[in-house]
Chain A
């Protein structure tokens, strides 16, 4: 037997994969040109992207910033490029950006004659200090809710924020918000005092009725009395002066913040065994979901005016806030009900077997899971209601969309469209995209591997 081996004994050294299979080239080959159909689609897409971008980018950047009117913009364009098409006139944004952001909110509420370009000499807060502070406090207040790493002490800010927000934005005496806050304290104390003496249901009813009585009959006079003794307040600002993107954020924050708890209660009510509670919730949800938001806004702005006694001055922004909150609460309730329905029956039974009462079970076992399931739906509702705030322009409020109309009515800017809407689009995109990214972060964080 000769020593012939048919099998290679030593390993060949590893070779680098062919250049066409790895790196950028390989990726392109596999993903963009894997077949002739894909190649054609790639080429068409590339051409399309190039076409869109070349137009948009040149429009955006080959543009005029320093102009005081549309005609001046056009003159500059003619002088620079010899053509007025395909060039943005950002002068309108430069001229009106403050208005688009803050509406007619006075930059210095304590000095009604001062303007942005003509600030008061001394002794005043920076321009737009109050709305800016409110916004910064909003970020501080939601930080502990959104991020577990934020210091827990910030929760005090969160608790105070619902009272700080209206005070800072509308101004006036500080005693009003404080007296409203006192209502919650009264309810809490009543609950704690009574719960040991009588049943929890009586205590609960008392904890709701007492604050209501306080708010309806006592809070106003008491706040007035204290204010006349110790006047402490800031310059009030009319609701009519609210506008711009600030109004969208204000309406959005209130609708989002209030609709989530109401939605949870409604969702629980809809699943409740108590007949009246159940049908009240079902009726509310179905009614609100059955009418378009714009109808509700018209009711807020027109019908209420006719029903209320003449001369009644029921703040228009408050009316809109209530309607938007109710609207989003109805949707929120259904989203959360979906989360509740997805929970296996065993979770409820497990809670019962641990001897938890209804609220404990909801708080410790049911809701954490149901809410986690509903996160995408909840955030969608948030984003939806935030974008819906622009509908208020139809009832004559000057939100960003309403302002575009007002700005176009100025003879200097009549005829400007795309620049304004592009600016507004960017504003909304930033906020909505952040919300969407946060919800993805939250989903990843809460992922516990049930699937």
Chain B
């Protein structure tokens, strides 16, 4: 039985090797499925529901790309990756794109030969403490015991922060976020530090969430975004502009509710160009004219995706903060569709 599979694999490999030269866009179209790498489970960002359907903020990016390229938001093969396997999976071609709360750093971009196509969530490292500790600023944490995930950038950021502020701390190394929650609640450490979105998600699961506060200081920049392999710029463009389309749609007021009406044509030429009733943007991208329409319809514009998965109405309850449109004082800024 194994031999036959290997055999089949060898045949597929031969076919795939021939097809790989044609570019990822054509590969995806030929396959009829987008292979999208996601996390094995991060609350609000990627998680399978009871029917095995993937939900979440990162997942929505995959669905939007699938909708734009394949006209079907469900034509996605979600491939769960861990922090260790994600880059190999992308580099080896097992996945076409990675949307797994991955921080855009210099070395990942340059040395690992990936291309971050944008930022879908501006995160940063924060601190959570029990209210009973009476601490209101991270600068007052001198001598605290800190629960910290080992082998992450957060560990290095923490050391930097305490060194800069001339404070001492005692690290309590832990392996996973789940373990961290238990340790923190059991009082093994005074402070838990990780990305602010993770802290909010963690705090939301506590029985008495009100007994814990997230300190105002954000000590690092963690721009999270989808990424693709170096070298295939056509594919990179598709993913980049799909993400930009979601962001621009919010800025221009295109929502899943009014998109049908607006795609018939509006007074705003940029909306018309985005939705394909004017100009040839889709053609330039190697897709058809209504690609962005479909991407937006898949889960709504950026704001709708945010509100549905991690926004203030959800248990995770994240405020827009840095992730508001630039017009609202945030950092989201899509280049013009022209």
Contact = CB atoms under 8 A, between A and B. Distances in A.
Interface of A: 70-71, 74, 84, 95-96, 98-99, 103-104, 115-116, 162-163, 165-166, 176-177, 179-180, 183, 215-216, 219-220, 223, 238, 240-241, 298, 301-302, 305-306, 308-315, 318, 321-322, 393-398, 402, 405-412, 414-415, 417
Contact of A410 (B19, B47, B91): B47
Nearest to B81: A396
Given A74-B207, A180-B3, A410 B11 contact: no
B316 interface: yes
The 7 lowest CB-CB distance pairs between A and B, nearest first, are A409-B41, A415-B205, A409-B47, A305-B92, A311-B16, A104-B52, A215-B3
Nearest to B316: A411
B237 interface: no
A180 B7 CA distance: 10
A57 to B, nearest CB: 23
Contacts of B3: 180, 183, 215-216, 219
B28 interface: no
Residue of B94, B176, B316 with most chain A CB atoms under a 10 A cut-off: B94
Interface residues of B, number: 60
B316 A301 contact: no
B82 interface: yes
Contacts of B32: none
A229 B44 CA distance: 49
B259 interface: no
B93 interface: yes
Given A177-B4, A314-B6, 15 more contacts: A74-B207, A96-B50, A98-B50, A180-B1, A216-B7, A220-B4, A240-B79, A306-B88, A311-B20, A312-B9, A396-B80, A406-B80, A411-B314, A415-B205, A417-B178
Nearest to A217: B7
Interface string B217-251: 00000000000000000000000000000000000
A154 B165 CA distance: 74
Interface string B146-187: 000000000000000000000000000000101001100000
Contacts of B4: 176-177, 179-180, 215, 219-220, 223
A213 B185 CA distance: 61
B11 A305 contact: no
Contact of A177 (B1, B48, B89, B314): B1
Given A306-B92, A415-B205, A313 B41 contact: no
B80 A410 contact: no
A411 B50 contact: no
A122 to B, nearest CB: 21
A311 B19 contact: yes
B40 A406 contact: yes
6 contacts: A70-B205, A219-B3, A220-B7, A396-B85, A406-B40, A409-B40
A397 B81 CA distance: 8
Contacts of A84: 207
B181 A415 contact: yes
B82 A395 contact: yes
B92 A405 contact: no
A399 B131 CA distance: 38
B71 interface: no
B91 A306 contact: yes
Residue of B6, B46, B77, B79 with most chain A CB atoms under a 10 A cut-off: B6
Nearest to B51: A115
Interface string B1-38: 11111111101110011011000000100000000000
B130 interface: no
B315 interface: yes
Residue of B7, B12, B46, B314 with most chain A CB atoms under a 10 A cut-off: B7
A313 B49 CA distance: 27
Contacts of A115: 51
Contacts of A162: 1
Residue of B17, B27, B80, B314 with most chain A CB atoms under a 10 A cut-off: B80
Interface in B29-82: 39-52, 55-56, 77-82
Contacts of A104: 48, 52
B213 interface: no
Residue of B16, B43, B46 with most chain A CB atoms under a 10 A cut-off: B43
A394 B207 CA distance: 29
Given A165-B1, A176-B8, A179-B4, A405 B41 contact: yes
Contacts of B176: 405
Given A313-B12, A313-B16, A394 B82 contact: yes
Contacts of A219: 3-4, 7
Contacts of A96: 50
A140 B44 CA distance: 44
Contacts of A313: 9, 12-13, 16, 94
